[in-house]
Structures are given as C-alpha cells and as structure tokens.
Amino acid sequence: EAQVTQNPRYLITVTGKKLTVTCSQNMNHEYMSWYRQDPGLGLRQIYYSMNVEVTDKGDVPEGYKVSRKEKRNFPLILESPSPNQTSLYFCASSSWSGANVLTFGAGSRLTVL
Amino acid sequence: QKEVEQDPGPLSVPEGAIVSLNCTYSNSAFQYFMWYRQYSRKGPELLMYTYSSGNKEDGRFTAQVDKSSKYISLFIRDSQPSDSATYLCAMSPAGGTSYGKLTFGQGTILTVHP
C-alpha cells in the first residue's frame, strides 16, 4: 500500500529535550515536506525537500531541523523543544507529476510541557 | 491578510442537503487548486484538484474555480453522514521553486446529521 508513515503518532515531552519525528514514504517520491497544523492557523509548511540532500525552509522553520540522506526518509528534528511547538505535525510527499498533489501521513501529535 | 481565506464554520447540515464550501485567495500566481478532506485523527487526503479555471465533477462532488474573482468552491450533492469531516482548500503556483508548496485555507468543519 502506498503510504507515508510517521512515528511517533503521539508524544509528550518536556522543554529542551531533543526529539525526532520520523517520516518514511514508499512511493519513490522526490518531494517531501513537513507541515504543522494549529487551530485557527491551518496547515503551515515547516521545511521541504526537493530531493536527496536538497532541503529548504518553509514558512515557519524556526526551532526545527531536517535532513534528507535517503529518498524515502525525511526526519523532523526539534533540538530544544518549547511549548509553542506543541502542535499536530504532518509529513507529506509527492512526485514530479506537475499536479502538486501531496500524500499526507496520519500525523504526529506533539505536546511540549 | 492571509493569502487564502476559508470560513472555518462549523457547518451543520441534514443528510441529503447540498453543501457549498468556499475559499478566496489573493495570489494571482496560483494555478493548481485542490480540496482535501480530513477526518478526525487522520491526515488530509486529496478529494479533487483542478488546474486553472473551470469546473470538475467527480460523483457527488463538484469543484469550481473562478480565477477572475479569485474564488473557488466545492459542492457536495446528496450529502451523507460519512461526509462529516474538515475540508481544506489548497492552492499553489505551477512548477519551479514553488513546486509542492501548497498554501492552505483554515479548513471548514462539516457535520452531516442523519
């Protein structure tokens, strides 16, 4: 089954404790991206990657890091999480099909205390 | 002003009703227009997409794009309780460095009650 897999699905952590949210896709997509979803603000892009070793900032990159060492994986790293990073995070991917159609993962709900 | 504006609702309708969901936008470079549906505790899934202006129909769903007014709509005919979800409009320019970067509306929460 074609899918984007994120882990963990739920996480409660404390301020300053580094964490990584993993994302993997099995569709051989070139493009991958991270979004956060907050009430009243909708989905906002954090980082994206056009291909292996090519990443760039989205609209809200502060406090996040990413890497793209393999085509299928695109982890999101929070080096020193803060309470304002409490959110619902989505990883997404797409192919160079011209239609900009994203396939989303199921989401990772993060709470930073 | 946000690039994409969507009434968050919530919208509650009886089963069988026609539902109209709308978004307005300000960026004239947008060429791809999409509607995603998001069920509770799930990721958004693509419902329909259109390129440039015009209408597109898929079963009970019809998407319309009016670029002159910078306005897009999604109509759901004969709505069902299973249509209860959050509906997100999304749009992007065509290709280049903007590839894959969708700008989303806030989402409209729809409930269809039996």
pLDDT score recorded for residue B85: 97
Average pLDDT, chain B: 91
Closest chain A CA to residue B94: A98
pLDDT score recorded for residue B97: 59
Say if residue A46 is exposed, middle or buried (CB neighbours under 10 Å; 0-12, 13-18, 19+): buried
pLDDT score recorded for residue B99: 62
pLDDT score recorded for residue B93: 84
Task: Indicate if the pLDDT at residue A79 is higher than 80.
Answer: yes
Beta-strand ranges (E) seen in chain B are 4-6, 11-14, 19-25, 32-38, 45-51, 54-58, 61-66, 71-76, 85-92, 103-104, 108-113
Q: Single out the residue of B28, B27, B45 nearest to residue B36, CA to CA.
A: B45
Task: Indicate if the pLDDT at residue B98 is higher than 80.
Answer: no
Please state the rounded mean pLDDT for residues B10-21: 96
Interface subset of B 39-98, CB within 8 angstroms of A: 41-46, 49, 51, 88, 90, 92, 94-95
What proportion of chain A, given as a percentage, has pLDDT over 70?
Answer: 96
Task: Give contacts of B99 with chain A, Cβ < 8 Å.
Answer: 31, 50, 96, 100
Hey, is the C-beta of A19 within 8 angstroms of any chain B C-beta? Answer: no
Given pLDDT bands bounded at 50, 70 and 90, which one contains residue A101? Answer: confident
Bigger pLDDT: B96 or B12? B12
Say if residue A48 is exposed, middle or buried (CB neighbours under 10 Å; 0-12, 13-18, 19+): buried
Task: Give contacts of B37 with chain A, Cβ < 8 Å.
Answer: none
Positive or negative: CA dihedral A31, B1, A83, B40:
negative
The CB density around residue A31, as the number of other CB atoms within 10 Å, is 22
Given pLDDT bands bounded at 50, 70 and 90, which one contains residue B7? Answer: confident
